[in-house]
Amino acid sequence: NAGVTQTPKFHILKIGQSMTLQCTQDMNHNYMYWYRQDPGMGLKLIYYSVGAGITDKGEVPNGYNVSRSTTEDFPLRLELAAPSQTSVYFCASRPTGGEKLFFGSGTQLSVL
Amino acid sequence: QKEVEQNSGPLSVPEGAIASLNCTYSDRGSQSFFWYRQYSGKSPELIMSIYSNGDKEDGRFTAQLNKASQYVSLLIRDSQPSDSATYLCAVNGGGSQGNLIFGKGTKLSVKP
């Protein structure tokens, strides 16, 4: 049981480039989340999904897009990367009716 | 805007002492409260949840909730160097999606 898997673990992106952060979970959880964490800060919600085909914006969605074509996968797309998107990105999931979040190991992204 | 406030610390305590971590929240309608521990470079992990006023104990950890004062705390008894981490307070943001709102975290250092 792998839980929540994120790839890549580290990445350096040039300003203006685009990339997709991958997140997959094997626990059949309906709810999935993308958070970003800047140094010394808490987690800010970017996007979330309550099930396949359903996504919604969180607190800081600008510059990002998501899709949820399957229960397992919830990729985060960065378009036209900016230095302000330098952060650690965490994907998380939880089952319907449960409140515990299961986190992936994170992706450290630098935009230079 | 719903907010969760924590003293960022660092909070330094000697080994064997009681560490007291505090959190206040702005939404009086919040019903679920969580403490996550995050080691440096790692993802958050849930250590305590509390839903009703009073104390909840789990081993060396005690969560305390006072909804009238909109205050949540975490006590760590017999603190160990392995407890050195950042502790994130999280509050359920309400609504059917149940998204968590995180504080910035308090960095705890336990000195041998």
Gap from A109 CA to chain B (nearest CA, Å) = 13
Whether the CB-CB separation of B2 and B93 falls below 8 Å is answered with yes
Q: How far is CA B43 from its chain centroid? A: 15
B-chain residues near A90 (CB < 8 A): 43-44
A-chain residues near B43 (CB < 8 A): 90, 103-106
pLDDT in tens, chain A (112 residues): 689 999 999 999 999 999 999 999 999 999 999 999 998 888 999 999 999 999 999 999 999 999 999 999 999 999 999 999 999 999 999 999 888 899 999 999 999 9
The pLDDT value recorded for residue B7 is: 87
**Is the pLDDT score of B95 beyond 70?**
no
**Token pair of A16, please?**
């203006």
Provide the terminal-to-terminal Cα distance of chain A, rounded to the nearest Å.
Answer: 36
Using the structure block, give the residue that is written with the tokens 């950890």: B61
Helices of type H across A16-102: none
Which among B90, B110, B100 has a CA at the least distance from the CA of A59? B100
- Amino acid A62 reads N
**Is the pLDDT score of B97 beyond 70?**
no
